[in-house]
Amino acid sequence: MTLRASGDAPLVECRGVSKRFVRPLDLAARIANRFGGDMRDEVVHAVDRVDLAIDAGEVVGLVGESGCGKSTLGRLAVGLMEPSEGERRWRGTSLAGLPPAAARELQLKMQMIFQDPYASLNPRMRVVDIVGEAPVAHGLIRAHQQTEYVGLQLNRVGLDPTLMRRFPHQFSGGQRARIGIARALAVKPEFLVCDESVAALDVSIQAQVLNLFMDLKASLGLTYLFISHDLGVVRHVADRVVIMYLGRVVESGPAVDLFAAPNHPYTQALLAEAGSVEARKRTFVPIRGEIPSPLAPPSGCHFHPRCPHAMPRCRAEAPPLAPIGPGRMSACWLNEPDADPAAQ
């Protein structure tokens, strides 16, 4: 992902970030180990040495199935979580070791819009406080300006400002999604991470919210990391697409090229499964197997147990993410010149 068109430093960059969740051994296991047991900490590599660079004004779609680490990567990118390894950069400067005041100010530039419009709004707060709390707390506006300011924010996302004294439960799902967007935009961010932000919405409402995202991008010059499992949505909004499988990036590239000619077998399988309205009665060809547990990922390439082209090498060694074309990268041994898919 270091291959980029522009020479400027990317707006947001994650370099070799990993996130491990560890469950330490309990007392019984530690005692068992004392007596020669072989118990280890349970470690989940939610994100495993991922590089991600997003240019200003770009929309990057992050795609994967549940448990692949896409939400964790989104949270790392926005700074909700500290990476176990690797560093984050904003416009080329490392975010590690910044003085707290500067870090807080930078943090305002990055905001997140969450998946569940029901769970991400405090049910006991009025909309005016949900949207207006952060700008007041961070000194962007004075407390007496809050009503007026929130009115502007609500207008921008297509909500009636006269509803600002209401509570979240008085709104429909689509309206709640808009409140979540207004809250994120209220602190004037430059970078938004949208984590499955339209997944819970009906199709007709989803179209309205996606249009709103694109209007806001045009009017405010926003940069998005758009996390979704819905390939149709990602194909529509994203300039560039990153595909994750079990904590690793398996393929990335410009959306048009990637959807036209997916390289990695997993991407190919995903695209084959993705339903389309165009399709008439068709035969579903299932991809084999289950998504493995991230607690015990397969050796070598994580996808090999489900891959139709798996070779002995795939079981032993994890393929590196290597360039395969202009702006495109893929992690698959099949792209090696000496690869022989016939060899089982």
Partner 1 sequence: MNVVLDVRDLCTAFATRAGVVRAVDHVSLTVHAGEVLGLVGESGSGKSMTGYSIMGLVEPPGRVVGGSIVLDGREITSLSPGEMRALRGNRVAMIFQDPMMTLNPVLRIDTQMVEAVQAHDDVSHAIARDRARDALARVGIPSPDERLNAYPHQFSGGMRQRVAIAIALLNRPDLIIADEPTTALDVTIQGQILYEMQTLAQESGTALIWITHDLSVVAGLADRVAVMYAGRIVEEGGTADIIERPAHPYTRGLIDSVPSRNRRGERLRQIPGMTPALTALPEGCAFQDRCNRATAACAVAPPMTVARPPYEAQRVRCHHPLPDPTA
Site of interaction with partner 1 (CB under 8 A): 65-66, 172-175, 202-208, 210-211, 214-215, 229-233, 235-237, 255-256, 269-270, 272-287, 290-291
Q: Please report how close the Cβ of residue 338 comes to partner 1 at its closest, in angstroms.
A: 29
Nearer to partner 1, 163 or 274 (CB): 274
Q: How far is CA 91 from the centre of its chain?
A: 19
Nearer to partner 1, 293 or 299 (CB): 293
Q: Please report how close the Cβ of residue 90 comes to partner 1 at its closest, in angstroms.
A: 26
Contact at 8 Å (CB) between 252 and 51?
no
Q: In this structure, what is the dihedral angle of CA atoms 184, 63, 85, 325, given to the nearest 10 degrees?
A: -120
Q: Please report how close the Cβ of residue 94 comes to partner 1 at its closest, in angstroms.
A: 33
Nearer to partner 1, 168 or 174 (CB): 174
Nearer to partner 1, 101 or 203 (CB): 203
Nearer to partner 1, 18 or 228 (CB): 228
Q: Please report how close the Cβ of residue 136 comes to partner 1 at its closest, in angstroms.
A: 30
Residue type, 147: T
DSSP 162-205: GGTTS-GGGS-HHHHHHHHHHHHHTT--SEEEEESTTTTS-HHH
Q: Please report how close the Cβ of residue 256 comes to partner 1 at its closest, in angstroms.
A: 7
Q: Please report how close the Cβ of residue 1 comes to partner 1 at its closest, in angstroms.
A: 21
Q: Please report how close the Cβ of residue 98 comes to partner 1 at its closest, in angstroms.
A: 35
Q: Please report how close the Cβ of residue 133 comes to partner 1 at its closest, in angstroms.
A: 27
Tokens of 222: 């926003």
Nearer to partner 1, 27 or 277 (CB): 277
Q: Which residues pair with 87 in a beta bridge?
A: 15
Q: Which residues contact 267 (CB under 8 A, 6 or more apart)?
A: 243, 250, 251, 258, 330
Tokens of 335: 């792209």
Q: Which residues contact 304 (CB under 8 A, 6 or more apart)?
A: 298, 310, 314, 315
Nearer to partner 1, 173 or 323 (CB): 173
Give the number of other CB atoms < 10 A from CB of residue 7: 5
Contact at 8 Å (CB) between 207 and 277?
no
Nearer to partner 1, 132 or 174 (CB): 174
Question: Three-state SS across 202-264?
Answer: CHHHHHHHHHHHHHHHHHHCCEEEEEECCHHHHHHHCCEEEEEECCEEEEEEEHHHHHHCCCC
Euclidean distance between CA atoms 32 and 216, whole angstroms: 57
